[in-house]
C-alpha cells in the first residue's frame, strides 16, 4: 500500500510501513532531513495577456485564528506584491483600504484584540458585514473563513452568493456552503465562470482534496479520522483510562474542544467533510443526508474491553461508492492492529483511500491555525 505522509512534508515511498508510530520517530526525522526543504519563498507568478503581473485583491472574511494566521503568512512570505488585502472583516465590523493595506498596517490589524478590527485607526468601519464590504470594494477574491453553520449556513453562505454575483473567485475554509449546497453551488459557479477552491475544508494541513480530485474516477471508498477533537478525546480515554466526560473536560481545558462541543462530538463536522469529499468526487451528497452516531454514549467499560482484545475505538467517517451511488456515515468503529488508522493519535487525522487498483493512506495534522491558513494560501496562489 502506498503511504503518503504529510506530517513533515509530502512524499511517497513504498518502502515505509503503513503504520506510523512513535517508535519510528528517529527514522522519520531522517526522512525529514532527506526530503524536506525550506518553504518556498517566492511563488511562480501569473501574467495577463499583456504580460503584466496579475494582482489579486482579497477580502478576508473572518479574522479569528485562521484569518490571522493567513495574514501572517502573507506577510512572512512577502506576498503583498501579488496579494493585496483590501478588507478584513470580523464579527463587529471591518477595516477597509481600497488600494490595499501595507505590511505595517496589517501588523497593526493583527495587534488588535479579537472582534476589534473595525477600531483600526483611519481604516476601521464599525457594524459593516462582509456583504456590505463586497459592495464597497473592488476585489476579485473572497477568502471566506467565518465559522461553519450547518443550520442555515450563515453568514458564510450569503457571503459566497454575493461574491459569486460580483464575479469573484472564492477560497473557502468555511465548510457550510459546500456541506449544505453541494454540487448546486459548484454548478452555479461554473455557469458564472467562477472558481471555488476549498482544500482547507478537509484535513487542511494535508493535500487530501487535490489528491482525490486527481483520481476521482477511480475511487471506491474513503474512510478515516477527519475530526481532531474527537480523536484527541478517544486517545485520552484509551491511554489514560478515563471516561468520556473527563476526556472531554480535559480537551476543553486545553482549548482543543469548544465550550459547546456539539459539532464535533455529535458528528456534524466529519459529516460536513464527507459531504465535501462526495462533492469533489461528483456526487451531490449533503450533510443532512449522512448518518451520524454521537460519541456521547461511548462507555469506558466497552473501551477497556476492546483494548484487551487489541482493538481501539475510532470515530470513523466513511464514504462508500457502490453502483455509482454514495453512502456515508460517521460512527464509532473498533479497529485492529493491522489497520493504519490505529496509529492516528491525538490531534492527527488520517484517511484510507481505496481505488480500483490501489490503496493510499494519508496522514497529517487535523487542526491548527497555521496549517489551515497555509492550505488557504495555496488555494489563493493557485488562482494565478
C-alpha cell at position 106: 496589517
pLDDT at 384: 84
Q: Are 134 and 166 in contact (CB under 8 A)?
A: yes
Q: Are both 108 and 252 inside the same structural domain? A: no
Mark whether 160 and 232 lie in a shared domain. no
Phi and psi torsions of 73, nearest 5° = -65, -40
Q: Let me know: does 236 contact 303? Beta carbons within 8 Å.
A: no
Instruction: Return d(Cα 150, Cα 146) in angstroms, integer.
Output: 12
Cβ contacts of residue 49 below 8 Å, gap of 6+? none
Q: Are 174 and 237 part of one and the same domain? A: no
Same structural domain, 72 and 219:
no
Please tell me the predicted confidence (pLDDT) of residue 45.
Answer: 43
Please give the pLDDT value at position 363.
93
In a domain, 14, yes or no: no
Q: By the 8 A CB rule, do 69 and 369 touch?
A: yes
Q: What pLDDT does 120 receive?
A: 94
CATH code, domain carrying 348: 3.30.360.10
Q: Is 216 left (phi over 0), alpha (psi -120 to 50) or beta?
A: alpha
Is residue 291, in this structure, part of any structural domain at all?
Answer: yes
Burial class from Cβ neighbours inside 10 Å (0-12, 13-18, 19+) for residue 384 reads middle
- Looking at residue 277, its pLDDT comes to 98
Instruction: Give domain status of residue 3, yes or no.
Output: no
Q: For residues 195 and 116, state if they share a domain.
A: yes
Residues 176 and 220 occupy one common structural domain: no
Residues 64 and 99 in one domain: yes
Instruction: Based on the fold, state whether residues 241 and 272 are members of the same structural domain.
Output: yes
Residue ranges of E strands in the chain: 2-5, 11-12, 56-61, 83-90, 93-96, 124-126, 141-144, 169-172, 196-197, 219-225, 291-292, 312-322, 325-335, 348-355, 359-365
- Please tell me the distance from the alpha carbon of residue 307 to that of residue 265, in angstroms, as a whole number: 21
pLDDT (0 to 100) of residue 53: 57
Q: Which residue has the cell 509530502?
A: 10
Sole residue written with cell 449546497: 181
State residue 50's pLDDT score: 46
As a whole number of angstroms, the distance between CA 323 and CA 312 comes to 31
Q: Do 118 and 256 sit in the same domain of this protein?
A: no
Q: Please name the residues in contact with 25: beta carbons below 8 A apart, sequence gap of 6 or more.
A: none
Residue 127, classed as helix, strand or coil, is coil
The pLDDT, as a whole number, for residue 193 is 95
Full domain range(s) for residue 230: 207-365
| Calpha distance 147→90 (Å, rounded) | 11
Counting Cβ atoms within 10 Å, is residue 50 exposed (0-12), middle (13-18) or buried (19+)? exposed
**Which helix H or strand E contains 308, and what residues bound it?**
helix 300-308
Whether 108 is covered by a domain: the verdict is: yes
118 with 183, same domain?
Answer: yes
DSSP string, 169-205: EEEE---HHHHHHHHHHHHHHHHHT--EE-GGGSSTT
Q: Confirm if 126 and 154 have CB atoms less than 8 A apart.
A: no
Instruction: Quote the number of domains for the chain.
Output: 2
Cell of 363: 496522514
Helix, coil or strand: residue 65: helix
pTM summary value: 0.85
For the domain that residue 197 is a member of, what is the CATH number? Answer: 3.40.50.720
Q: Are 280 and 233 found together in one domain? A: yes
Let me know if residue 111 belongs to a domain: yes
Q: Domain for residue 129, yes or no?
A: yes
For 6, the 3-state DSSP assignment is: coil
Domain-located, residue 45: no
Residues ≥6 apart with Cβ < 8 Å to 129: 89, 94, 155
What's the confidence (pLDDT) of residue 268? Answer: 97
Q: Report the pLDDT value the prediction gives residue 374, as an integer from 0 to 100.
A: 96
Asked whether residue 355 is domain-assigned, the answer is yes
Per-residue pLDDT of the chain (384 residues; tens, 9 = 90+): 544 443 323 333 333 333 333 333 333 333 333 322 233 333 344 444 444 556 899 999 999 999 999 999 999 999 999 999 999 999 999 999 999 999 999 999 999 999 999 999 999 999 999 999 999 999 999 999 999 999 999 999 999 999 999 999 999 999 999 999 999 999 999 999 999 999 999 998 889 999 999 999 999 999 999 999 999 999 999 999 999 999 999 999 999 999 999 999 999 999 999 999 999 999 999 999 999 999 999 999 999 999 999 999 999 999 999 877 899 999 999 999 999 999 999 999 999 999 999 999 999 887 789 999 999 999 999 998
Give the separation between CA 49 and CA 46, rounded to whole angstroms: 10
3-state DSSP call for residue 96?
strand
Q: Do 250 and 269 contact (CB within 8 A), yes or no?
A: no
* Same domain as 79, residue 193: yes
Amino acid at each position: 500500500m502506498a503511504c503518503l505522509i504529510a506530517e513533515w512534508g509530502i512524499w511517497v515511498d513504498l518502502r515505509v510501513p503503513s503504520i506510523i508510530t512513535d517508535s519510528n520517530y528517529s527514522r522519520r526525522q531522517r526522512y525529514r532531513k532527506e526530503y524536506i526543504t525550506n518553504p518556498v519563498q517566492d511563488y511562480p507568478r501569473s501574467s495577463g495577456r499583456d504580460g503584466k503581473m496579475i494582482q489579486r485583491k482579497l477580502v478576508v472574511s473572518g479574522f479569528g485564528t485562521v484569518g490571522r494566521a493567513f495574514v501572517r503568512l502573507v506577510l512572512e512570505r512577502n506576498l503583498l506584491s501579488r496579494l493585496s488585502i483590501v478588507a478584513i472583516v470580523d464579527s463587529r465590523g471591518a477595516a477597509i483600504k481600497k488600494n490595499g493595506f501595507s505590511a505595517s498596517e496589517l501588523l497593526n490589524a493583527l495587534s488588535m484584540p479579537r472582534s476589534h478590527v473595525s477600531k483600526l485607526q483611519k481604516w476601521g468601519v464599525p457594524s459593516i458585514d462582509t456583504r456590505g464590504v463586497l459592495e464597497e470594494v473592488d476585489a476579485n477574491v473572497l477568502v471566506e473563513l467565518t465559522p461553519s453553520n450547518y443550520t442555515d449556513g450563515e453568514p458564510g453562505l450569503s457571503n459566497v452568493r454575493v461574491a459569486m454575483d460580483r464575479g469573484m473567485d472564492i477560497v473557502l475554509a468555511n465548510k457550510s456552503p459546500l456541506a449544505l449546497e453541494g454540487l448546486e453551488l459548484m454548478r452555479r459557479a461554473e455557469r458564472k465562470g467562477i472558481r471555488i477552491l476549498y482544500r482547507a475544508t478537509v484535513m487542511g494541513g494535508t493535500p487530501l482534496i487535490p489528491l482525490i480530485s486527481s483520481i476521482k474516477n477511480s475511487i471506491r471508498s474513503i474512510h478515516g479520522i477527519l475530526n481532531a477533537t474527537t480523536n484527541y478525546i478517544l486517545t485520552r480515554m484509551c491511554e489514560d483510562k478515563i471516561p468520556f466526560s473527563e476526556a472531554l473536560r480535559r480537551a476543553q481545558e486545553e482549548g482543543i474542544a469548544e465550550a459547546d462541543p456539539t459539532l464535533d462530538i455529535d458528528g456534524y463536522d466529519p459529516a460536513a467533510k464527507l459531504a465535501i469529499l462526495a462533492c469533489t468526487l461528483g456526487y451531490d451528497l449533503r450533510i443532512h443526508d449522512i448518518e451520524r452516531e454521537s460519541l456521547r454514549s461511548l462507555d469506558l467499560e466497552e473501551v477497556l474491553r476492546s483494548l484487551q482484545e487489541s482493538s481501539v475505538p475510532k470515530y470513523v467517517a466513511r464514504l462508500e461508492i457502490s453502483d455509482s451511488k454514495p453512502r456515508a456515515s460517521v460512527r464509532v468503529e473498533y479497529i485492529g492492529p493491522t489497520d493504519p488508522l490505529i496509529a492516528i493519535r491525538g490531534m492527527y487525522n488520517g484517511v484510507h483511500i481505496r481505488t480500483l487498483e490501489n490503496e493510499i493512506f494519508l496522514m497529517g495534522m487535523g487542526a491548527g491555525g497555521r496549517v489551515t491558513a497555509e492550505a488557504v494560501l495555496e488555494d489563493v496562489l493557485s488562482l494565478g
